[in-house]
Amino acid sequence: MTATLTTPAPGRTGGRKRRTKVHHKGAIFAFVVPFGVLFAAFYLVPIGYAIVQSTLVVEREGTFGKATEVFGGLQQYALVFQNAPFWRSVGRVLLFGVVQVPVMLGLALLFALLLDSPLVKGKKFFRLAFFVPYAVPGVIAAIMWGFLFSPDLSPFTALTQNVHFLSADLVLWSIANVVTWVFVGYNMLIIYSSLLAIPTEVYEAARLDGASQARIAWSIKIPMVRPAIVLTAIFSIIGTLQLLAEPQVFRSFSSAVTSTFTPNMTVYATSSIPNFNLAAAFSVVLALATFVLSFTFLKFTQRKDAS
């Protein structure tokens, strides 16, 4: 890559300009290569390894013969599509996402609008207070909420002994509560940063037209931060299908959370058997499903923006 500088020819003023090429190949190489190496080592290579492993099957000579891996084509994928617990776990997290993601993003948008409102005082305190839960590791947050939901351990026994938060009917929504509590602040900051980028002249023009703060929020702020909302929604869709830490911790508190409660838990349990080839096939199918769902949502929102 080269950059071009234009300088006037020596001894002449206002004459034809001479172009001088300045080379930056060394700087480009220095910046790109470290990223490329890490990207390949920790992203491309693991993906390729998982795809290769998903095409292998284990064969033995006799009952106790030596196990060898041979190419099996799509045999592992056939097992994936025949695995009912895996698809039940996919349906479970999809139900989780349909309810939890809109609630979480709705709260994040509400908090961002409140922080951006000139009527709210103590913005620095509330911005920190809303974000603090995200600073708590997900495992720690799940343990904390698990104790709060446990009928025998919670300090709110009058509530937890009457409302069984860890039962089969409610444990999914108890996990949703943990995820919402942790990630509302993170999504709020993304939306709030987008609100800060809106020119103040837009607000001044709206106020001159007699618009109230509620009208400005509904007609100006929310439409202008739509790209940020779409971005947080895509992140949330990906995170929903990858749900692992919170339900894994809740297994210690509730027998309703099985080893196949979510797709990632199914992958983890399968690899612990160990059946790495089937676990790799689960992972590839889950990755493709995540890509398709995220891409479909993105295209849907872009089509609505264009219409």
Domain boundaries, the chain: 2-54, 76-306
Give residue 28's pLDDT band: very low, low, confident or very high (50, 70, 90).
confident
> What's the pLDDT at 1?
46
pLDDT the model gives residue 66: 77
pLDDT at 123: 85
* Average pLDDT of the chain, as a whole number: 89
Q: What is the pLDDT of residue 26?
A: 77
Residue predicted with more confidence, 240 or 65? 240
Query: From residue 242, how far is each of 58, 108, 174, 282, 287 by CA, in Å?
Result: 27, 21, 17, 12, 9
Question: Is residue 2's pLDDT more than 70?
Answer: no
Model confidence band, residue 14 (pLDDT cutoffs 50, 70, 90): low
Cβ neighbours, 10 Å, residue 26: 8
pLDDT higher than 90, residue 17? no
Structure tokens at 227: 């790209």
Distance CA 283, CA 278 (A): 9
Is the per-residue pLDDT at 77 higher than 70? yes
| Chain segment 157-213, per-residue pLDDT in tens | 889 989 999 999 999 999 999 999 999 999 999 999 999 999 989 988 999 988 898
In the predicted model, what is the mean pLDDT of residues 244-265?
A: 94
Model confidence over 105-162: pLDDT tens digits? 999 999 999 999 888 888 889 989 999 999 999 999 999 999 999 988 889 988 998 9
Asked if 34 and 17 count as a contact pair (C-beta separation under 8 A), the reply is no
- Average pLDDT of span 38-62: 90
How many Cβ atoms from other residues are within 10 Å of residue 118's Cβ?
8
Which of these, 270, 261, 267, 306, lies nearest to 286 by C-alpha position? 267
Contact 240, 100 (CB under 8 A): yes
Residue 26, both tokens? 């060394």
For residue 184, the surrounding DSSP H or E stretch is helix 171-196
**Architecture category of domain 76-306 in CATH:** Orthogonal Bundle (1.10)
pLDDT band at residue 292, thresholds of 50, 70 and 90?
very high
